[in-house]
Amino acid sequence: MRIDQLMSRNVQYCTPDDTLDRAAYLMWSNDCGSIPVCAGTDGSQRVIGMLTDRDICMAAMFQGKPLRELRASDAMSRELRSCRPSDRPADVERLMREQQIRRVPVTDSDGSLVGIVSLADLAREANMSDSQGKRSISESEVGDTLAAIVEPSNRASRASPLRPQA
């Protein structure tokens, strides 16, 4: 089993210059909680960050501006974790667990967006079995990963890049 067999291919994304109200609209209209932020001039969309609904809320709160006045680049996570279409689900699940993330952009060798894989995609795979009754990832692994993702992290103690300086 490979990630390209599980990933979503029709992925919505925004650019760093898109406003946060546009990014929020994309998430709302496509029923997703995060989108990749992509940049490219030659038709390819190289992933340069991720933007979550929480990122949007925190940017609005800390900067005290309407979403139409804020850019995706103001709120996106620049610490990008991605995977390749040929990666094994167990390896991506381990990445999600270690980095406490629910969604991972799938990129080609140039870093261009080709899909996205979510913890829900891995959970569906864990619920299925192949013809020999083997799974590429177990239900308990998915449960352990979800538990690790929702565990409080040390991020709350760090100074926010969006918080106004006193």
Domains of the chain: 3-152 (3.10.580.10)
What tokens were used for 133? 């009754």
The answer to whether 94 touches 122, Cβ cutoff 8 Å, is no
- Global pTM value: 0.78
Q: How far is CA 88 from CA 26, 58, 72, in A?
A: 29, 33, 31
Q: What is the pLDDT along the chain (166 residues), one digit of tens a residue?
A: 899 999 999 899 999 999 999 999 999 999 999 999 999 766 679 999 999 999 999 999 999 999 999 999 999 999 999 999 999 998 998 999 899 898 999 999 999 999 999 888 888 877 665 444 556 666 666 666 666 656 776 655 444 555 444 4
DSSP strands (E only) in 27-127: 34-39, 46-52, 103-107, 113-118
β-bridge mates for residue 157, sequence order: none
Angle value at C-alpha 111, between 74 and 5, nearest 5 degrees: 110
